[in-house]
Each structure stands twice: as structure tokens, then as C-alpha cells.
């Protein structure tokens, strides 16, 4: 220990001596240029490292962060949910009448959960009210407040990131017509069937109309519209996925048997 201190102490004065000698020598222009370029070089290397760290943060860490927050939101919704989480009558298809349409919650509150088996058996994402960046950047799928609620005649539209912040719609281009998309709210389960997708420019707000891209037409169907950026890792365009409401089950009837395992898992009863 004592030996270490003496070497450290002796190192400090020698460094100081080196510094003191510098100014005594007449300062040449080349010295100044060398110093300035050295500092500039170190700053540029630092900027490069910071930019690489930013890329790592944006493409990796935001997903870790958002996935944790979304899991929390799903768990919070599951705790409030009162219905059974196993199908009550899986054998017989029953017509439960026209779907119940819930009222929109406050901005940033959870509407329900979306299950998309095509995106993986563990695709269980919360649906949140609003499409502000504070919602989309952490909680994933946000409902456009100007559109309908699930089950209503017209257009229920949600936005989600293709990359970063959970990348909730990263695989939106892999949907095949006929794929089921399940929306669970406090009222029940809405089963949508994917119809088609469309790639548009970002200013095409008509995709959010009650009948998408057809102004003034009275809706006869319930449509689910999902919007995300396109291409992947870019945002020059938007990819829009349209699905049509196929059936509805009240919460008391339990989940559709196709997603029973996933629902049970989301509600911590698997």
C-alpha cells in the first residue's frame, strides 16, 4: 500500500513538471494546430460513440423498456377483468346478437388486449386510448380517438410502431387474408378477420373514415384498421391493414377456443 502511494505521488509531480515546461518554450503555430486538432478529433470520436449508443438504445433498449410496460398494462387489465378465462361453450357456435360497444376511456387508459396468433402464440398486447407519442412509445397500440370503439359499425383504428418501442406491428406485412385478430375488452371478445393491406402516403387520413377511403358512405360493417410505418426501418409511407368483424362473444361466454390458452396465460391462469 505504502509503495503504491509513493509511486503515485511521484507520478503527479512529473506530470506537472511536464506541463510547466510547455509554456516556457515559445508556443509555435504548429503546437496550437496540433492541440486543437487533437481536441477536435477526440470530440468527433466521442460523437461517433454517442451516435452508436443512440442506435443501440433506439433499436434494442426501447423494445426492452416498452415490452415491460406493456406486460404491466396487460396484467393490470387482467386484474380488472371479471369474466371467465376459459370457453364456456366451446362446442356450439352461438349467436350472441349485436356486439356491445364500450365507451372510450380517458386518454392513456387501457381499452383491452389484442391477440394476433399470426404474430406468435405470445402476441398479447394492450390497446390504449390515444395515438400521442407518449402512448405509442411505451404502451404499443393506440386507438385513434376520432374513430369507433371495437364492435361498432364503422372503423376502429389503431396505430403501432413497426420498429422500436416494442415494435408491436413489426410483422404486419405477414398477415394473410383470413387470419384472425382477437380484441378483448371488458365487454367481451371481438373476432376480426384480416382482409387486405394497403400502402399509402402518410397524409392519407381517409383510411380512418368509417368506410376506409370512401368519404360520405354509411358503414355497414365493423372494420379494424391498423396503421404502421412502411418500409421497415423507414417512414416514407404507411402500411394499413384492414380486418372485418366476424363474430362477437360477451365476456361471460369466455374467450374463443382458438385463443383460450393465450387468454388464460395473459390472465395468469395457465
Q: Does 164 bind other proteins (CB under 8 A)?
A: yes
CB 143 within 8 A of CB 156: yes
List Cα–Cα distances, 125 to 66, 88, 115, 139, 193, in angstroms: 11, 24, 7, 8, 18
CB 181 to other proteins: min, Å: 17
Q: Classify residue 96 by burial, with Cβ atoms within 10 Å: 0-12, 13-18, 19+.
A: middle
Per CB under 8 A, 211 contacts other proteins: no
Q: How far apart are the first and last CA of the chain?
A: 59
133 binds other proteins (CB under 8 A): yes
CB 160 within 8 A of CB 175: no
H or E element at residue 241: strand 237-250
Number of residues that bind other proteins (CB under 8 A): 51
When asked if residue 208 is in the footprint of other proteins (CB under 8 A), the reply is yes
How far is the CA of 270 from the CAs of 12, 192, 267, in angstroms? Answer: 65, 24, 8
**Is residue 88 a contact point for other proteins (CB under 8 A)?**
no
Q: Which is nearer to other proteins, 208 or 260 (CB)?
A: 208
Under rule CB under 8 A, residue 252 binds other proteins: no
Q: Does 109 bind other proteins (CB under 8 A)?
A: no
- Rule CB under 8 A: which residues touch other proteins? 4-5, 8-9, 11, 15, 19, 38-39, 42-43, 50, 53-54, 57-58, 61-62, 107, 130-133, 136-137, 144-146, 159-165, 169, 200, 202-205, 207-208, 227-229, 233-235, 238, 240
Amino acid at each position: 500500500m505504502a509503495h503504491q502511494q509513493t509511486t503515485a505521488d511521484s507520478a503527479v509531480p512529473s506530470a506537472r513538471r511536464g506541463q510547466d515546461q510547455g509554456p516556457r518554450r515559445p508556443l509555435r503555430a504548429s503546437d496550437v494546430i496540433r492541440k486543437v486538432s487533437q481536441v477536435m478529433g477526440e470530440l468527433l470520436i466521442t460523437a461517433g460513440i454517442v451516435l452508436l449508443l443512440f442506435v443501440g438504445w433506439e433499436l434494442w433498449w426501447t423494445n426492452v423498456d416498452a415490452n415491460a410496460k406493456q406486460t404491466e398494462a396487460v396484467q393490470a387489465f387482467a386484474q380488472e377483468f371479471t369474466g371467465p378465462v376459459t370457453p364456456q361453450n366451446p362446442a356450439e357456435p352461438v349467436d350472441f346478437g349485436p356486439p356491445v360497444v364500450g365507451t372510450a376511456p380517458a386518454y392513456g387508459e387501457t381499452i383491452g388486449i389484442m391477440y394476433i396468433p399470426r404474430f406468435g402464440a405470445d402476441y398479447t398486447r394492450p390497446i390504449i386510448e390515444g395515438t400521442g407519442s407518449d402512448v405509442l412509445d411505451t404502451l404499443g397500440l393506440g386507438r385513434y380517438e376520432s374513430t369507433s370503439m371495437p364492435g361498432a359499425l364503422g372503423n376502429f383504428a389503431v396505430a403501432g410502431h413497426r420498429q422500436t418501442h416494442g415494435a408491436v406491428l413489426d410483422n404486419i406485412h405477414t398477415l394473410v387474408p383470413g387470419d384472425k385478430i382477437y380484441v378483448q375488452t371488458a365487454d367481451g371478445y371481438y373476432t376480426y378477420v384480416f382482409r387486405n393491406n394497403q400502402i399509402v402516403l402518410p397524409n392519407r387520413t381517409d383510411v380512418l373514415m368509417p368506410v376506409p377511403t370512401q368519404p360520405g358512405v354509411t358503414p355497414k360493417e365493423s372494420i379494424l384498421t391498423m396503421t404502421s410505418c412502411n418500409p421497415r426501418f423507414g417512414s416514407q409511407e404507411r402500411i394499413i391493414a384492414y380486418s372485418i368483424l366476424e363474430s362477437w362473444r360477451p365476456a361471460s361466454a369466455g374467450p374463443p377456443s382458438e385463443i383460450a390458452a393465450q387468454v388464460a396465460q395473459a390472465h395468469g391462469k395457465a
